Structure 1
């Protein structure tokens, strides 16, 4: 959940469009339970100016804070971990010996009872993380994607799985991100109502004191798209130097269990040591797998060396990258990203669409299609609602999730249409993922608030 203020307001011309058809949108919201934020009045999506498209343009940057490239640091890290020459780690290996189990039975996942996240939500599929991950207030799930985004067939290395991005807050009173990870959750149960999953730490390669090491990646991880072998993670500028779309290559995944240089994979008492290289040994705080950062798609506004802080909704500054979604109904597929906004600070924010490389075309740098080295959006729209946490589209129809405090909702609309349909959503709902696995596709999301039955993955029929 985002709570930090934004200073800028939407330009007057955009605001005029956003207030059109107010009466019609109020009618569409009739009959919605009060718990699902009826005050979040939707307005039509409007196509924004070419200037907004320019602000959304992205440039690739793979030079880290130590003035060395992330790929070269990762290659050296692989050598120092004695993992050079080993074949890439398949997804099936990540899940073959999981140390986490998710559940969907009423005892271990009471999502529709009492204070559960799905009270009043029309859902027949959901999964709870294990009790430690469900109740941990330091880690919060945000972005969600899966293998149905990654490939046209819906599987990776013979496995169909979800991917959920989490961020770790600095302290109980400070929500600033200081670490992030991704949970890979198998779609197939290993037993009745039981699903295996594995938490993978996202790593920042560093060069310190003449040696390669790694740190955690301080990103909010508000949005996640898995396309080809890449994880594209939306970062909304908790730190300006990480503002943009972070790219991780699953071919870089490191199995730390296979390294003789990692001290604490199976020795819990060592997990209090610093992360990375320390006195000749590497420490991972118990994580079995590390996925290093490959590079960042940064806003093209301003120099890469002095990134400018984003301002959501402001048509004169770089946008904020709050969430991420994939549209496989376009050819080739396209990447969506948008903003979390409050009406008082920045209107309702923007959503942009970027073209990707085709499924059958080898690609690099997250498969963003570029012209002259720049990734440019094909269109940018105003969002229909504020507090947007996730967005996807399919054949011209957009779906958005919103969350603010205990209020949540899901909205369906098309650009320019006055018809904006509102549905209940899970309390604390976040990012969206279009799963094509069933005969009737399902929209999946994740809820963030801690508690058994409150923090979970769930699907609805769109």
Structure 2
């Protein structure tokens, strides 16, 4: 089912859909990206780092396909009631009251089954049209990052308005006694391509997961138990499902300054992942104080994986700061700044344009549609206002 049909169904059920007029501000010629040497940025990929451990874990716990996870979805998504004031707004959802108001968990990245499989079969993966959001967890409202997870959200009128949380874990132990541990990363960006889920790991590059290898775990333990408890008992903070890491994509550079992988997004047209950095112009203590960059890395020919070694094909230095989101499609770029509450659009030929955007905005995902307008999906991380929303991209392309 198309997004538009889904939204009409939601509207009929009483979901508030709000849109207002907007004013586009054309950026000055000086406030535009400049080209950097792409050859100074590389990736090294290893998709088999945890093969033996993952085989052992699957043999003990068994795997659950995505449709089984969604058959057991146990959280209700609801309609957006905030007035977002965005041009071309077509709707979306928010999480249940517990997740919407949780000061220890924060949504960050976004991707969809349209990223994974394209427009074929209405963008369904294993029978479901899904929106996937990555989260990080802190030890209490003011604690340090302690783990990360994803939520799989049904976005199809054929199914209930439900979602399921899946914990991200790193395999540990030995093949004879396999286990897993938490992944305490920011998970600021996520991209789904084919069966592979790529999650940004700020200082390293990306961690790789396989959506065919979700594991079933035991529930009923204490909230802090993680990993192997006995030969057949595995707890995961009471999550019923975990997604184990299968490999790594490690970034390298000869530029003298390592990339900060703050957000990522899939470009299906050029078959690449694009990334950008969250940096400050000055005054930050937890983030770099310098101009941010955006870099494009291509997948291996005919594959949804990176080659063992990959060199970037495009690199930009950006004039904008506090960037939490990036997207690219068919030579066009979008950047979301949570600092300025603006969405920046840029192409080499048309230059830069600036649009009003939401507060606490995070990642962006491009949604291609064969019969309806293409969309930009994004989300807000602010406690109490965790809206996941879509706008028609035509209103944000200059």
Q: Which has the larger radius of gyration?
A: 1
Q: 2:294 aligns with which of 339, 351, 357?
A: 351
Structure 2 distance, partners of 1:79, 1:279, is: 15
RMSD: 2.5
Give SS of 2:222's match. Answer: helix
- CA positional deviation for 1:206: 0.8
Q: How many residue pairs are counted as aligned between the two chains?
A: 360
- Alignment check: 8 A CA contact 2:132 2:150 kept: yes
**Contact preservation (8 Å) 2:25, 2:355:** no
Which of 180, 188, 192 is the aligned partner of 2:156? Answer: 188
| TM-score normalized with structure 2 length | 0.83
- The one of 58, 65, 70 equivalent to 2:50 is 70
Q: CA deviation at 1:393?
A: 1.4
Structure 1 residue aligned with 2:20: none
Distance 2:372 2:224 in 1: 49
Of 336, 339, 344 in structure 2, the residue corresponding to residue 401 of structure 1 is 336
Aligned pairs for 1:240-251 (under 5 A) are 243-251=204-212
| Structure 1 portions without partners, runs of 5+ | 1-25, 31-40, 64-68, 113-117, 238-242, 257-261, 303-314
Q: How far, CA to CA, are the matches of 1:415 and 1:225 in structure 2?
A: 25
Question: What is aligned with 1:455?
Answer: 386
Q: What does residue 12 of structure 1 align with? A: none
Give, in angstroms, the shift of residue 60 of structure 1: 2.4
1:461 and 1:277, CA in 2 relative to 1: closer, same or farther beyond 3 A? same
Aligned to 1:9: none
Counterpart Cα distance in 2 of 1:382 and 1:416? 16
Change in CA separation of 1:127 and 1:433 when aligned onto 2, cut-off 3 Å: same
In the alignment, structure 1 residue 98 sits paired with structure 2 residue 73: yes
Change (3 A) 1:208 1:178: farther
| 3-state SS of 1:95 partner | helix
Shift of 1:396: 1.4
Contact 2:66–2:212 (CA under 8 A) maintained in structure 1: no
1:94 alignment partner, SS class: helix
Shift of 1:209: 12
The verdict on how the C-alpha distance between 1:382 and 1:183 changes in structure 2, with shifts beyond 3 A counting, is same
2:264 equivalent to 1:324: yes
Residue aligning to 1:277 = 228
Q: Show CA shifts across 1:76-129 (max 9, x none).
A: 112233x2xxxx63322211121111011xxxx3221xxxxx246652312011
Give matches, 1:279-428, under 5 Å. Answer: 279-280=230-231, 281-300=233-252, 315-330=255-270, 333-344=271-282, 345-357=288-300, 361=302, 363=303, 367-368=305-306, 370=307, 373-404=308-339, 407-415=340-348, 417=350, 419-428=351-360
Aligned counterpart in structure 2 of residue 201 of structure 1, from 167, 177, 181 = 167
In structure 2, do the counterparts of structure 1 residues 27 and 409 end up closer, same or farther at CA, with 3 Å as the change threshold? closer
Deviation by residue 1:309-329 (Cα, 9 ceiling, x = unmatched): xxxxxx412211111111122
Contact 1:334/1:355 (8 A) holds in 2: yes
Contact 1:223 1:325 in 2 (8 A): yes
1:79 equivalent among 56, 59, 63: 59
Which of 214, 219, 232 is the matching residue for 1:253? Answer: 214
* Matched residue, 1:150: 116
Distance 2:64 2:52 in 1: 19
Distance in 2 (CA, whole Å) between partners of 1:130 and 1:70 is: 34
SS state at 2:35 partner: coil
CA contact (8 A) 1:408 1:429 kept: yes
| Cα distance in 1 for residues equivalent to 2:322 and 2:96 | 28
Contact 1:44 1:416 in 2 (8 A): no
The equivalent residue for 2:34 is 46
Flag the structure with higher strand content.
2
Structure 1 residues 392 and 411: CA distance shift in structure 2, 3 A = same
In 2, distance between residues paired with 1:249 and 1:169?
A: 25
Aligned mates of 1:209, 1:125 — CA distance in 2: 47
The answer for the alignment partner of 1:57 in structure 2 is 42
Instruction: Report the Cα offset of residue 29 of structure 1.
Output: 5.7
Please give the alpha-carbon distance, in whole angstroms, between the structure 1 residues aligned to 2:348 and 2:207.
28
Following superposition, the deviation at residue 282 of structure 1 comes to: 1.5
Q: Verify the 8 A CA contact 2:103 2:140 in the aligned structure 1.
A: no
C-alpha deviation, 1:339, in angstroms = 0.6
Cα distance, 1:120–1:158 mapped onto 2, change above 3 Å: closer
Q: Structure 1 residues 202, 173: closer, same or farther in 2, change over 3 A?
A: same
